[in-house]
Amino acid sequence: MPSLKTRMLFISHAWAYEEHYNKIVEWFDAEQNFSWKNCSVPSTNALSDKTTAGLKDGMTRQINPAQGVIILAGMYAAHSGWIEYEIKEAQRLNKIIIGVKPWGQERVPVIVQDAAHIMVGWNSASVISAVRALI
């Protein structure tokens, strides 16, 4: 059997909604024949420089090696300057952007819709299929 392609992924999320981030990580970890490296910044491993410039530099360092960026498209993303920064950095660095619409949500922030190469629903098969197809 050939070796698996390891996908480098950054999952953009608001720490206040970290359960969404944790679920995506769980899906990726549980998927058979799927190898990935997490380039994200979880709350359990926060960036050390808390200045605005330091946080921006740290986010850019995390996004840079990623092949793709997963944007959790909760409506909170429309009001998060940090998620907006991550989207703009992903675009500047020519990363594939996959938007994920959280379960039960009817609306998606325009910033995510406009940036995403694809929008998918809130289920493991949709998210993993998009990653496999685009990254």
pLDDT tens-digit map of 71-105 = 987 655 544 678 889 999 999 999 999 999 887 77
Using a pLDDT cut of 90, give the percent of the chain over it.
55
Structure confidence at residue 52 (pLDDT): 85
Q: Is the model more confident about 113 or about 78?
A: 113
Dihedral over Cα of 78, 74, 43, 8: its sign:
negative
Give CA–CA dist 82/59, Å, rounded.
9
- pLDDT (mean) for 8-29: 87
- Distance, in Å, from the CA atom of 53 to the CA atom of 70, rounded to the nearest integer, reads 23
Whose CA is closest to 10, among 64, 80, 79?
64
Contact 8, 38 (CB under 8 A): no
